[in-house]
Structure 1
Amino acid sequence: MTQTPAGPLSAPPVAPRRPVTHTWHGVERTDDYDWLRDKESPEVLAHLEAENAWTEQRTAHLAPLRERIFEEIKSRTQETDLSVPTRKRGWWFYSRSFEGREYGATCRVPVQDEDDWTPPQPDGKASPDQPALPGEEVLLDLDALAEGHEFFSLGGSALSLDGRLLAWAVDTEGDERYTVRVKELEGDRLLDDVVEGVLGGVTWDPDGTGFYYTTVDEAWRSDKVWRHRLGTAQDEDELVFHEEDARFWVGVGRSRDDRFLFVVSGSKTTTEWQVKDARSPERGFVVWSPRREGLEYSLEPAVVGGREVFLVLHNGSGPDFELATAAPTPTDPADWEPLVPHDPAVRLEDVDAFAGHLVVHQRSQGLTQLRIIELGPEGPGEDYLVEFDQEVYTIGSGANPSFDQPVVRLGYTSLTVPSSVYDYDVRTRELTLLRRMPVLGGYDPEQYEEHRIWAPARDGELVPVSLVCRRGARETGPLPTLLYGYGAYEASIDPYFSPSRLSLLDRGAAFAIAHVRGGGEMGRRWYDLGKLEHKENSFHDFVDAARHLVESGWSSPDTLVAEGGSAGGLLVGAALNEAPELFAGVVAAVPFVDTLTTMLDASLPLTVGEYDEWGNPEGDPEAYARIAGYAPYDNVAAVDYPPVLAETSLNDTRVLFVEPAKWVARLRATATGRRDFLLRTEMSAGHGGVSGRYKAWHDRAFSLAWILDRMGLAEVAPRSAVGS
């Protein structure tokens, strides 16, 4: 039995081997460490604590560096601050942060001029002791709500349409099961209503007498939509819909114009929407277009050419989606009328409708774009992109909750440009910068350079890689580089600015993102070529991108560190097995490394819904062989692996802590050479790690110090980012 250490350890913890053998499709599979999954076992908890002690002991020499990096992150941050206010139903809403506090507050002030869409600005520096804006009302003091809890997460908050009632959801464990409370804003009176086990937030019924919410089944799949009537107990709530197909999740929401409520069922390949019209609530929820395998669609109410329509974003005309119009009543796909036809060079991702214009979210050649379609009395008018003159960037629509707003709130960032908030006035086509995230200490983006390079994959595809470093740093030779990747679920890891990343760049390192197949950066085809039977393309792309960085002189194997989280942890774990000689170290956060075990157990969270992503190894021998061939845990070999830092959370419901725990145990037992493998478990956190910004900064400082040590930069002082 592993014991909690009472003093310094002379060797890393050794998990006892307790073989469990199963036979699948005629193939025997033995798992020596399955016993580690029991989070209630004192022996398992003692083992995790011993691993934490060993990790702390092995990294004790980095403690001063960790503290310096934490102070660097803190010194770059304007700790007392407020977001750009967003207008909705006669109010401006914003969030505030305060020096020394973890969470901050959400606030509102009344709109003073109905015709003025310019957000108000504070007269002076905001402070915890005075309102940021005249007439400020604090809706939620998050630090007060978090008091007494080691972990705190706000799942969301929602105001009733009349603005009288506020509902909010809180998770204090990290397991993403939230408790909802409600208060009357006038008098700040807390109601007796308490709804537990909610996934995320709530959606108010237009009449304000209750709200809708979703709950999960035993496999942590959102499967039920409920309606809670204020003043009643939760066990009296009405079951609105139960999604019985285990491949599908379900959610609930309301349209921007407040007319429609939606219940949406979706799998990885198919969607179905149910619609409730506030003009005829007695009809209840009606299926708008029945699910058809492989057909994905979404709905957005709009008025086009004087007609009330639904905008339908769907893949019925091609994999990169088409934007069509249809009647708000149940409509067959044959009657959907194209508005923006399918284009294989442009992936349409979303659409927002307003009284005078549409905003289409799309991407092309690996970059995000916003398309404006003006609406006139006769129908769609001019169609154009909101453009920025930069090689690598990310643009996206921000908070735009009001149907009649004439401006588009958008966000913009790059690897060198801090997160920026703009208003684009569709009437004048003027772009106004409202706020750029302050980076204190004299940050000068001109002192850095960013690039988009293309790495040749072994099958001839070109993999986009986004890269940033200090200007001119490469002139002295290859750079220590942190290579990040994800590559699953059509999720795109677009270029973004990070204040904490400056602690790497200013010590002479580069940061790169490999946009591998399995992600959505290059359209639906890019995703399809990185899942199911093509999944190994993701791992090959990451290895080939790393090799290209080395061969083209950007980096070298002795200073190249890989990092990925969740499905990205699977990515770097598989790349580690394929090419351990390419990397100086690997950081795997909440890593999905025991892929085969998880996908063989339909009772585990998310498994059945993931069959369309990974395959069903329980029912399909080919899927079993395929996953067994790349799962990092199953393919640990007797080779010299570089050092590994695996980070996890005890209460993670998405990727269970047992996966990295088993992986590290097998690495220690099997690998040759250095065998420097560390496991760090947060004992009060979930999939997203610890809560609170200061705790998160300490956590990131821990990882960055380890990365710098692997790069040989632990003793290097950071250069100033102030321009010359």
Structure 2
Amino acid sequence: MNKFVYVLFFLGASCMHKNIPLTAPQPVKKAFTHSKHGDNRQDDYYWLRERENPDVIKYLQSENAYTESVMAPAKKIEEKIFGELKSRVKEDESSAPVKDGNYYYSARYELGQQYPLHVRRLGSATGPEEILLNIPALAQGHSFYQSTGPRMSMDQNKMAYSVDTVGRRFFTIYFKDLKTNTMLPDKIENVSGNMAWANDNETVFYSQQDPNTLRVHKIFRYSLKTHKAELIYEEKDETFSCYVYKSLSDKFIYIGSFSTLSSEIRYIDADRPLNAATLFQKREKEVKYMVTDHVDRFYITTNKDAKNFKLMTAELTNTAASAWKELVPHRKDTYLMDVTVFKNYLVLEERFNGITQLQIMDLQGKNPYLIPFADQSYLASVGDNREFDTDTLRYDYESMRLPSSVYDFNMKTHQQVLVKRDEVPNYDENLYRTERVFLTVRDGTKVPVSLIMKKDLKLDGSAPMLVYGYGSYGANMDPWFNSEIFSLVDRGFVYAKAHIRGGSEMGREWYDQGRTVNKKNTFYDFIDCTMELVNLKYADPQRIYAMGGSAGGLLMGAVMNMRPDLYKGMVAQVPFVDVITTMLDDSIPLTTSEYDEWGNPNEKTAYDYIKSYSPYDNVKDARYPNVLVTTGLHDSQVQYWEPAKWVPRLREHNKGDSVILLKTDLEAGHGGASGRFDQLKETATEYAFILMLDQPAAL
């Protein structure tokens, strides 16, 4: 019996629908019921999680074919957009060389290549070049190839690097002797890619994930002398994950255990890598702390009795929290994100009023200096710094209008030098303007929104607008530069990035107001910001589009159910849409570690709240907007079956003539394609979908 039946899918008679097939793929329904807390949920597409089932692959392929046929009228504009996107890429781009000892490290692309070369030069940034990793050559024969790049030993004579050729973020670590230019026989498979060298040039610490849940829960010590790995730490708490890192001073190796709301650190003398790890401070509920060091003390950022974090110090001989000393106190209006410790300076990465700032001070927390920035909306962050004993801070700066720039700032004289600014061909920053507005949402909260548009755009309510959002995990969607968006902006679009609650743009409280039992604030903020932008004449209410990925795809799904009439079209990238089912299944990757983000639905109160917004469970009879949904078969973060079953359910309940499409990358994972030009093709498809809806006459 044929596993697939095809149903009539009425698309309407508007010009954009001419020559579009009238049938959409329909996976067979297989009755399945989820039962919890006396509540039954019907899930007829649950079987689509059978990754090895040939019928699942056939269904995904049929959806791809359908999407291609529906978007056939937009093929020329898609190709044109891809050409535009590629034209704004400097094909032989290179990164700013970064000094580490006697070498200067960088990455560079060659014309036409999808992947970079990792290189170094001896003595100066213009010295003789040594190719460390030829990624274009290594990637040959692979449809997907991702590398962490080189990780150098202390003497810089050995190199480790890790590679994923599937897209599920399982890496293999390889080693090379750079003095003899030969690969070592050592190979460590199925690891996370996270690693750190000890100071003996022979020992590497690395982390490994569970093969099923993907939770990173083990730290190993590997010896290039004995060719053996030893488990030195295992995180038993299923709500925690772990990782390893090394301080800039090279004094200690750290093992960090973390959950959404708590953390715990252990440390090992990097000169004595065979020592057992020492516990820094026992974990406490809802207390996070992070540790780095100087020669004679530790520096700790923590939110213990400090919502927005404060900076503390501890002696090397006593790391108990009771012995910590306050260096930079908690500030209600400033969110302390991180600290970088140099030999003579501290650099604090902070947020004030939602905008990043860099503050420099001495080791005693005195003589603070805030690096001044002229723009009202921008992103400034500590860059690639590899030397501890230096007066130079490398930092990165960009805005929605200005491409990323790398500066070297002298922390002693306060003078700075522009090292490199990304070259963006066929782009003129003077043609655009940016704005930053605070919009009042339904509970009175003022939400910041960053916007970019053509400089001469009139705010008369006639422009199309794309609104982007995320709002989860405390992640910040800063106003960074994105050369791709100008293919829409040049066609008259306003691009709005809504800094909604659930991120940390306005501090830690901003995050807390958008998680667990406050999660709906994220969705309300996005809806209300969109409506207020329309009221302020930034856009035509009939020409509004929305985009979000992963947890931002959850945002798209929830908003779509709450206000199916508000947006003409949506792009939901790798969307997390079956929240209740996923969070009840602890065999699915990353579930247990996210109870503090979404709530634990094994508890009825959390179950009821999650179910009240979970996109898959709240699909209803409505006139849904046009939707393009993307996913990856090998996605390790959001399993492909969530969007795969969401799409047919949306179609079943859609009472309008909108198109609802699913496009699955059968080779890639959560991050999409690995090659830089292949990634642009994905963007071109998304933009062509939007333009097919907004400007059909241009097709």
TM range (shorter): over 0.9
In the alignment, the residues of structure 1 paired with residue 690 and residue 84 of structure 2 have an alpha-carbon distance, to the nearest angstrom, of 16
Decide whether the 8 Å contact of 2:267 with 2:278 is kept in 1.
yes
In the alignment, the residues of structure 1 paired with residue 402 and residue 150 of structure 2 have an alpha-carbon distance, to the nearest angstrom, of 30
Work out which of the residue numbers 300, 306, 326 in structure 2 matches 1:338.
326
In the alignment, the residues of structure 1 paired with residue 556 and residue 375 of structure 2 have an alpha-carbon distance, to the nearest angstrom, of 30
Matched, 1:195 2:188: yes
Equivalence for 2:489? 505
Decide whether the 8 Å contact of 2:108 with 2:118 is kept in 1.
yes
Equivalence for 1:630? 613
In the alignment, the residues of structure 1 paired with residue 225 and residue 297 of structure 2 have an alpha-carbon distance, to the nearest angstrom, of 36
Alpha-carbon offset, residue 712 of structure 1: 2.4
Work out which of the residue numbers 390, 394, 412 in structure 2 matches 1:409.
394
Decide whether the 8 Å contact of 1:156 with 1:202 is kept in 2.
no
* 582-591 or 426-435, which deviates more: 426-435
Equivalence for 1:78? 90
Alpha-carbon offset, residue 232 of structure 1: 4.8
Equivalence for 1:271? 263
Alignment of 1:460-471 (within 5 A): 460-471=444-455
Q: Deviations over 1:503-551 (max 9, x none)?
A: 1111111100111100000000000000011000000000101111112
Decide whether the 8 Å contact of 2:356 with 2:381 is kept in 1.
yes
Q: Deviations over 1:633-657 (max 9, x none)?
A: 1101100001000000000010000
Decide whether the 8 Å contact of 1:2 with 1:13 is kept in 2.
no
In the alignment, the residues of structure 2 paired with residue 364 and residue 475 of structure 1 have an alpha-carbon distance, to the nearest angstrom, of 29
Distance change (3 Å), C-alpha of 1:2 and 1:551: farther
Q: Over the residues paired in the alignment, what is the CA RMSD in angstroms?
A: 1.7
Decide whether the 8 Å contact of 1:708 with 1:714 is kept in 2.
no
Question: What is the one-letter code of the residue matched to 1:182?
Answer: F
Question: What is the one-letter code of the residue matched to 1:420?
Answer: S
Alpha-carbon offset, residue 622 of structure 1: 0.6
Decide whether the 8 Å contact of 2:308 with 2:332 is kept in 1.
yes
Decide whether the 8 Å contact of 2:118 with 2:150 is kept in 1.
no
In the alignment, the residues of structure 2 paired with residue 698 and residue 72 of structure 1 have an alpha-carbon distance, to the nearest angstrom, of 11
In the alignment, the residues of structure 2 paired with residue 454 and residue 556 of structure 1 have an alpha-carbon distance, to the nearest angstrom, of 20
In the alignment, the residues of structure 1 paired with residue 462 and residue 290 of structure 2 have an alpha-carbon distance, to the nearest angstrom, of 47
Alignment of 1:513-552 (within 5 A): 513-552=497-536
Sequence identity percentage:
39
Work out which of the residue numbers 688, 704, 710 in structure 1 matches 2:693.
710
Q: Deviations over 1:253-280 (max 9, x none)?
A: 1111111011111111111111112355
* 223-232 or 356-365, which deviates more: 223-232
Decide whether the 8 Å contact of 2:132 with 2:150 is kept in 1.
no
Alpha-carbon offset, residue 173 of structure 1: 0.3
Structure 2 regions of 5+ residues with no counterpart? 7-19
In the alignment, the residues of structure 1 paired with residue 678 and residue 385 of structure 2 have an alpha-carbon distance, to the nearest angstrom, of 31
* 543-552 or 678-687, which deviates more: 543-552
Aligned residues: 685
3-state SS of paired residue (2:412):
coil
Q: Deviations over 1:141-183 (max 9, x none)?
A: 0011101000000034311111111111000000100011111
Alpha-carbon offset, residue 186 of structure 1: 2.0
Decide whether the 8 Å contact of 2:198 with 2:271 is kept in 1.
no
Decide whether the 8 Å contact of 1:557 with 1:581 is kept in 2.
no
Equivalence for 1:684? 667
Question: What is the one-letter code of the residue matched to 1:291?
Answer: R
Decide whether the 8 Å contact of 1:4 with 1:47 is kept in 2.
no
In the alignment, the residues of structure 2 paired with residue 511 and residue 674 of structure 1 have an alpha-carbon distance, to the nearest angstrom, of 26
Equivalence for 1:115? none
The TM-score, its normalising length taken from structure 2, stands at: 0.96
Q: Deviations over 1:111-163 (max 9, x none)?
A: 35xxxxxxx3xxxxxxxxxxxx3311000000111010000000343111111
Distance change (3 Å), C-alpha of 1:687 and 1:62: same
Matched, 1:167 2:157: no
* 294-303 or 92-101, which deviates more: 294-303
In the alignment, the residues of structure 1 paired with residue 272 and residue 146 of structure 2 have an alpha-carbon distance, to the nearest angstrom, of 37
Matched, 1:668 2:660: no
Question: What is the one-letter code of the residue matched to 1:286?
Answer: T
Alignment of 1:136-215 (within 5 A): 136-215=129-208
Q: Deviations over 1:261-315 (max 9, x none)?
A: 1111111111111111235556421001111111111111125xxxx11111001
Equivalence for 1:318? 306
Matched, 1:14 2:26: yes
Matched, 1:372 2:370: no
Q: Deviations over 1:544-596 (max 9, x none)?
A: 01111112211133211000000000011101111111101010000001111
Work out which of the residue numbers 523, 546, 549 in structure 2 matches 1:565.
549
Decide whether the 8 Å contact of 1:169 with 1:180 is kept in 2.
yes
Matched, 1:472 2:494: no
In the alignment, the residues of structure 2 paired with residue 287 and residue 200 of structure 1 have an alpha-carbon distance, to the nearest angstrom, of 24
Work out which of the residue numbers 427, 430, 442 in structure 1 matches 2:412.
427
Alignment of 1:218-617 (within 5 A): 218-230=212-224, 232=226, 236-278=228-270, 283-302=275-294, 308-375=296-363, 379-441=364-426, 443-475=427-459, 477-617=461-601
In the alignment, the residues of structure 2 paired with residue 632 and residue 416 of structure 1 have an alpha-carbon distance, to the nearest angstrom, of 34
Question: What is the one-letter code of the residue matched to 1:445?
Answer: E
Equivalence for 1:653? 636
Decide whether the 8 Å contact of 2:459 with 2:539 is kept in 1.
no
Alpha-carbon offset, residue 187 of structure 1: 2.9
Distance change (3 Å), C-alpha of 1:194 and 1:574: same
In the alignment, the residues of structure 2 paired with residue 490 and residue 679 of structure 1 have an alpha-carbon distance, to the nearest angstrom, of 28
The TM-score, its normalising length taken from structure 1, stands at: 0.92
